[in-house]
Chain A
Amino acid sequence: NAGVTQTPKFQVLKTGQSMTLQCAQDMNHEYMSWYRQDPGMGLRLIHYSVGAGITDQGEVPNGYNVSRSTTEDFPLRLLSAAPSQTSVYFCATTGPRRTEAFFGQGTRLTVV
């Protein structure tokens, strides 16, 4: 049982490039979310999904797109990478009680 799997673990992009961060879960949870973690700022919610076909914006959605075609997968797309998007990105799922969140190991993204 892998839980929440994120790929890649590390990525370097040039400004203006696009890419997709992958997140897959095998916990059959409806709720999935993406956070970014920056020094001294904790985790900030980018986008979330309460089930397949449903997504919504979090606190810092600009520059990111998401889709949720299956329960298992919740990819995060950077449309045109900017240095301000250099961060560590975490995907999380939440069980039926909508309380405890289970996190992946993170993707460390650097935009140069």
Chain B
Amino acid sequence: GQQLNQSPQSMFIQEGEDVSMNCTSSSIFNTWLWYKQDPGEGPVLLIALYKAGELTSNGRLTAQFGITRKDSFLNISASIPSDVGIYFCAGRDGNKLVFGAGTILRVKS
């Protein structure tokens, strides 16, 4: 089946730093989604991208849908302790969502 390669697997950064993570795929997706999961909770949608080249922001978060439709990145600016969690990318394939393995973000205050 389709796979999304998400990197890095984990990050340990200083509070106030900017963060960047990305997802790549061998297949084309028409929609890219970014989710955050807090411990003991289900994933929560952060940003949805619907068009190649689209750049969308949600507060300190910015995500882009790659021109080739095979990749996407998520940036977090000026990280804070509550940014800790697991970030997942997902691509839509017809009726299904395909998820990356996640990026674990740890922030050192």
Question: A residues touching B (Cβ–Cβ < 8 Å)?
Answer: 4, 31, 33, 35, 40-45, 48, 50, 56, 58-59, 90, 92, 94, 98-106
Interface mask (B87-99 → A, CB under 8 Å = 1, otherwise 0): 0101010011111
Q: Helix, strand, loop or mixed for chain A's interface? A: strand
Residues of A within 8 A of B99 (CB): 35, 42-44
Residues of A within 8 A of B101 (CB): 40-42
Question: B residues touching A (Cβ–Cβ < 8 Å)?
Answer: 1, 4, 6, 9, 31, 33, 40-45, 48, 50, 88, 90, 92, 95-102
Residues of A within 8 A of B102 (CB): 40, 42
Q: Judging by beta carbons under 8 Å apart, are B88 and A42 in contact?
A: yes
Q: In whole angstroms, what is the CA distance A44 to B9 when docked? A: 17
